[in-house]
Amino acid sequence: MCGICGCGQARETDHAHGHGPSHEHHHHGDSDHGASDHGHSHDHEHHHHESHGGHATGPEGQQARIVSVEREILEKNDRIAATNRTLLAAVHTLALNLVSSPGAGKTALLVRTLNDLRGRQRPLAVVEGDQQTSLDADRIRATGVPALQINTGKMCHLDAGMISDALGPLPLPTRGVLFVENVGNLVCPAGFDLGEFGKVVLVSVTEGEDKPLKYPDMFHAARLVLITKVDLLPHLEFDVGALSANARRVNPSADVLQVSTRTGEGLDAWFAWIRERRRQVEAA
């Protein structure tokens, strides 16, 4: 179990490189990057019954133990994330971590982005995170861009260890862009650095203007907030200005853009944002 959010740990990785057969791997090892140890710690690995050796018992002791486990989990994750970041920087790859609640349009945006940028942009690759199925990765592979599916099982987010495993079999887009589509969740992914350049938070116009206030950790971690499905605005009572203001209230430094993958509205600004960040990575 993850000590941060209580989610399970089993997951599968399916390696696929755009064309040809995919290869499924079931991880059962206990190495630093194995399926049972991607930045997540089992209580019994670090702590035994509080009554042993004079450890504190009761609510205060339990809370202290939980805080200790959480710290160990995040510290280990951050160490692996730092290694990922170094590897990506060495090949001047811009890595973007796409996060949102389920149904905000991450996969639709990725498919449109890959189709529009492929051929006139630097190399591209995708890591897809879902609890089950390869449905989204199949949609990505149809664009001709290399994609690797990670099925997290009961886990509600990707972590740095999973990305570390993915960076081996997935062809790294040297001087290009690696997109990571995280599991649909506005809570847990906020706390897990993957080694990315930055998080891109998607929030659709069907979700409510108050999302940044309800989930401040995620929006505070964002480099960019994408307001999606704006083609639906004529059919909704939705205040885009209020959503933008709430996002900037939580994170004044975040950029905010509006997009529609159906009509193409705002996509040029999104592509320009990617190009500018890629230049930053290349210049670093």
pLDDT digits (tens, 9 = 90+) for 25-61: 333 333 333 333 333 333 333 333 333 344 455 777 6
Domain membership of residue 139 (yes or no) is yes
Domain membership of residue 141 (yes or no) is yes
CATH of the domain at 236: 3.40.50.300
Per DSSP, what are the bridge partners of residue 126?
147, 179
Domain membership of residue 86 (yes or no) is no
- Name the nearest CA neighbour of 199 among 215, 121, 123, 70: 215
Domain membership of residue 47 (yes or no) is no
Domain membership of residue 157 (yes or no) is yes
Domain membership of residue 36 (yes or no) is no
User: What range does the domain containing 190 cover?
Assistant: 91-283
8 Å CB contact between 148 and 126: yes
Domain membership of residue 271 (yes or no) is yes
What pLDDT is recorded for position 17? 43
What pLDDT is recorded for position 1? 52
Count structural domains, the chain.
1
Longest dimension (CA), the chain: 65
107 pLDDT band (50/70/90 cuts)? very high
What does the pLDDT look like over 205-253, one tens digit per residue? 999 999 999 999 999 999 999 999 999 999 999 999 999 999 999 999 9
